[in-house]
Chains A and B, each alone.
Chain A
Amino acid sequence: MPDSADIAKVFMEAIPYNRALGMRLISLEENAVIVEMPYDEKLIGDPETGVIHGGAVSALMDATAGTAVVTHPSRPVGTATIDLRIDYMRPATPGQSIVARAECYHMTRTVAFIRAVAMDDDRARPVATATGAFTVERAS
């Protein structure tokens, strides 16, 4: 059986959209995953300030959360987002990577509940937070 680090790495690297956004797995904790997305000019949403688009931050949150689900110790075989709510606290500083940490804080047989936070270099003030529900597919 592959360990969760392998699953997480594959989940990041084999998914085209995660690759297109340059996402990279940083580390795995128990029930939590940390993923980095480097700053890139193609991700700019506000041309006046160079701030990354909220949609790119959403993608990072969604991907990190999904990885937290499939690396959960109960070993689901797949997942899909049911719903995801993002709160944008402040604009991410242009030029800095965004790092998301997603935690699967409750898991049933069929549904995973996650929360996530996204930071830039200023680790004291979050850029965005998210909560969501994900499907859980079991090998059964």
Chain B
Amino acid sequence: MSRPRPEPMQIVKQRRDAALDALVARVPYIQFLGIEFDRRGDELTATLNYADKLIGNPMLPALHGGATAAFLEVTAIIELSWNSLWAEIESGAVDVERPEVEWLPRLPKTIDFTVDYLRSGLPRDAYARARVNRSGRRYASVHVEAWQDNRHKLFAQATGHFLMPSSRDG
């Protein structure tokens, strides 16, 4: 008994990228901050594209703590939402060709968010990845790490708790 023939790679990639783009594009604050997401399989990396408006200390200069916090929180929320969307896309439960309102999940709500500022953010691009440590039906716990030039020299990290959206049907 052979497994069914896999779909062509381009079709699979297009479907996954379309879902991710739709998830990210509809949040105005993500656009305002200039955050983009790269995908390797199901793994996401967020980039905060440097802009002068993100500065919080013009003397150094350094990124604003609030911009850093927002970058980490956005990364955590998109990771959480992407995890559930990914499962639905891969199982075929969701068809991304359908109108977005039918399949885009509602976003998780932040309950609390704690940021450690480890070193000052330099005036250049920053990167972040989130790890979902617990994802229950109602609550999730997520850890996020952010770096700039060197992956192993974090400039900030955060842990947050989130209230998961109720399912689209219920």
A14-B57 Cα distance, complex, nearest whole Å: 9
The stretch among B7-15, B60-68, B86-94, B130-138 that forms the contact with chain A is B60-68
CB distance from B47 to the nearest CB of A (A): 16
Contact status B64-A15, CB under 8 Å: yes
The stretch among A1-9, A40-48, A103-111, A116-124 that forms the contact with chain B is A40-48
Contact status B27-A47, CB under 8 Å: yes
CB interface residues, B 1-40, toward A, < 8 Å: 26-29, 31-33
A87-B69 Cα distance, complex, nearest whole Å: 13
Interface residues of A, CB < 8 Å — how many? 39
Contact partner of B28 (CB less than 8 A), chosen from A20, A41, A48, A87, is A41
Contact status B120-A17, CB under 8 Å: no
Query: If A16-B54, A45-B27, A84-B65 touch, does A56 touch B70 (CB 8 Å cutoff)?
Result: yes
Contact partner of B53 (CB less than 8 A), chosen from A20, A81, A87, is A20
| Contact size range, B | 35 or more
A residues bordering B, Cβ < 8 Å?
A: 14-21, 41-48, 52-56, 58-63, 66, 78, 80-88, 91
Contact status A48-B106, CB under 8 Å: yes
Please indicate the chain A residues that have their CB under 8 angstroms from the CB of B28 in the complex.
41-45, 47
Main secondary structure of the interface of B (DSSP, over half): mixed
Contact status A45-B107, CB under 8 Å: yes
Please tell me if B58 contacts chain A, counting CB pairs below 8 Å: yes
Query: If A42-B28, A80-B120, A88-B111 touch, does A54 touch B66 (CB 8 Å cutoff)?
Result: no
Contact status B71-A44, CB under 8 Å: no
Contact status A42-B66, CB under 8 Å: no
Contact status A58-B73, CB under 8 Å: yes
- Nearest B residue (CB) for A45: B29
A43-B67 Cα distance, complex, nearest whole Å: 12
